[in-house]
Structure 1
Amino acid sequence: MTRHNADVIVIGGGIAGASAAAEIAADREVLLLESEPHLGYHSTGRSAAIFIRNYGNATLRALNALAAPVFDDPGEIADGPLLSPRGELLLAAEDELDALEDYADGAEGLERLSAAEACDLVPILRPDPIAAAVYESDAQNIDVDLLLQGYTRLLKARGGRIVTGAPVTALRREGGAWHVTAGGEDHAAPLIVNAAGAWAGRLAGMAGAAPITLTPKRRSAALLPAPEERDIDAWPLFGGVVENWYAKPDAGKLMVSPADADPVEPHDAWPDDMVLAEGLHRYECAVTVPVTRVERSWAGLRTFAPDASPVVGFDSRVDGFLWLAGQGGYGVQTAPALARIAAGLVAGAAPVDETLLTALAPQRFD
Structure 2
Amino acid sequence: MTHDVVIIGAGMAGASLAAELAPHAGVLLLEAEDAPGYHATGRSAAFWSETYGGPGIQPLTTASGDALRSGGFLQPLGSLHVGRAEDRAAADALLQAFEDAPVTLEAVDPRDRLPGLRDGWTVGVWEPSCAYIDVAGLHADRLAVARAAGARVMTGAALRSADRRDGVWRLNTAAGAVQACVVVDAAGAWADGVAAMCGARPLGIRAFRRTVVQLRTDPRPPVGLPHVADLAGRFYFKPEAGGRLWLSPHDETPTDPCDAAAEEIDVALAIDRLENVVDWRVEAVERRWAGLRSFAPDRLPVYGYDTRMPDFFWCAGQGGFGIQTAPAAGQMTAALLRGTGDMPAGVDAEAYAPGRFG
1:180 to 171, 176, 182: 171
SS of 1:58's equivalent?
coil
AA aligned to 1:242 is A
Quote the residue 2:106 is aligned against. Answer: 111
Higher deviation after alignment, 55-64 or 265-274: 55-64
Backbone CA RMSD of aligned residues? 1.6
Structure 2 residue 236 is matched with structure 1 residue 239: no
Quote the residue 2:159 is aligned against. Answer: 168
Instruction: Confirm or deny: 8 A CA contact 1:57 1:309 kept in the other structure.
Output: no
Q: Percent identity?
A: 37
Rounded to whole Å, the distance in 1 between the matches of 2:223 and 2:212 is: 19
AA aligned to 1:48 is A
Structure 2 residue 66 is matched with structure 1 residue 69: yes
Structure 2 residue 320 is matched with structure 1 residue 329: yes
Rounded to whole Å, the distance in 2 between the matches of 1:102 and 1:26 is: 43
Higher deviation after alignment, 31-40 or 342-351: 342-351
Shift in Å, 1:57: 2.6
Rounded to whole Å, the distance in 1 between the matches of 2:217 and 2:145 is: 37
- CA 1:287/1:166 → structure 2, altered by over 3 Å: closer, same or farther? same
- 1:171-223, Cα deviation, whole Å (9 max, x unpaired): 11111011111123111111011000000010011112132001111100111
Rounded to whole Å, the distance in 2 between the matches of 1:54 and 1:255 is: 19
Structure 2 residue 283 is matched with structure 1 residue 288: no
Instruction: Confirm or deny: 8 A CA contact 1:129 1:286 kept in the other structure.
Output: no
- CA 1:162/1:234 → structure 2, altered by over 3 Å: closer, same or farther? same
AA aligned to 1:362 is P
1:362 to 334, 337, 354: 354
Give the 5 Å matches for 1:28-43.
28-43=25-40
Rounded to whole Å, the distance in 2 between the matches of 1:289 and 1:112 is: 25
Rounded to whole Å, the distance in 1 between the matches of 2:263 and 2:89 is: 30
Rounded to whole Å, the distance in 2 between the matches of 1:169 and 1:334 is: 30
AA aligned to 1:358 is E
5+ unaligned residues in a row in structure 1: which ranges? 75-80
Rounded to whole Å, the distance in 2 between the matches of 1:157 and 1:19 is: 13
1:250 to 223, 240, 254: 240
Give the 5 Å matches for 1:113-152.
113-117=108-112, 121-126=113-118, 128-152=119-143
Q: Deviation above 3 Å: which 4+ runs of structure 1?
A: 230-233, 352-355
Rounded to whole Å, the distance in 2 between the matches of 1:11 and 1:47 is: 20
TM-score (norm 1): 0.93
Instruction: Confirm or deny: 8 A CA contact 2:59 2:347 kept in the other structure.
Output: no
Quote the residue 1:55 is aligned against. Answer: 52
AA aligned to 1:143 is D
Shift in Å, 1:137: 1.4
More helix by share: 1
Quote the residue 1:16 is aligned against. Answer: 13
Higher deviation after alignment, 56-65 or 41-50: 56-65
- 1:230-254, Cα deviation, whole Å (9 max, x unpaired): 4634211113112211111111210
AA aligned to 2:32 is S
Rounded to whole Å, the distance in 2 between the matches of 1:102 and 1:182 is: 47
Matched residues, number: 352
Shift in Å, 1:354: 10
Shift in Å, 1:226: 3.9
